[in-house]
Amino acid sequence: MQGQLDTMKMQVELAERPRISIRVNSEGPLTFVKDYSGKDKVRVPLTITYHNSGPTPALVIVQFRKLATDVYAYMAGNKNQEGQQKSVRDVCLENTDLYKTSDEILPGTDESGPAIVEGTINPAFITQINPMLTACISYRSSFGKKVYHSEIGYSISTKDGALPFGLTVPESDLRIQEIGGSKHADDDEK
């Protein structure tokens, strides 16, 4: 009897759960700046939009975003202790203590907010960069305890390709493109 009840609860939650997708848009030019220690950084203002296409409210647990200046910096910064590549979810889950919110995203609505993301540029002789952005969100249903995750990766370039180092790129020339393999409304538990 208890097994049937648990199965019914799980089926109801799966049918009624929130489903969050993520969309990113540029909100200004990509610029190069120096941080307080003199390191070169790339900075881009964005709007990150979370959309709930599910039938119930999503209670947001954590939101996280990271910008790497190229695929090598992205991969090098995302290795586990064994030196293996981390998934976007691994990076997101490591940061579940950051950006904790009490936000609720209602069914059929968007929750948008501005974000200024930065990435450090390490190589001294670089002539162009290919920034990559990771954004993820962990959330749960308003009536369940199961935690869901959505994650997405984007590459940032100009309409002509890679970004020239040191030059401001106007918003109209930026291209933000989803990286294949990104996941929306993923069903795995935390």
Mean pLDDT of 12-41: 85
Which amino acid, residue 51?
Answer: H
- Burial category of 69 from C-beta neighbours within 10 Å (exposed 0-12, middle 13-18, buried 19 and up): buried
The predicted structure's pLDDT at residue 69? 60
- The model's pLDDT over 42-92, given as tens digits with 9 standing for 90+, comes to 888 988 899 999 998 988 877 777 776 655 455 445 555 666 655 555 655
What are 112's strand-pairing partners? 49
Who's near 144: CB < 8 A, 6+ residues apart?
13, 17
pTM of the model: 0.76
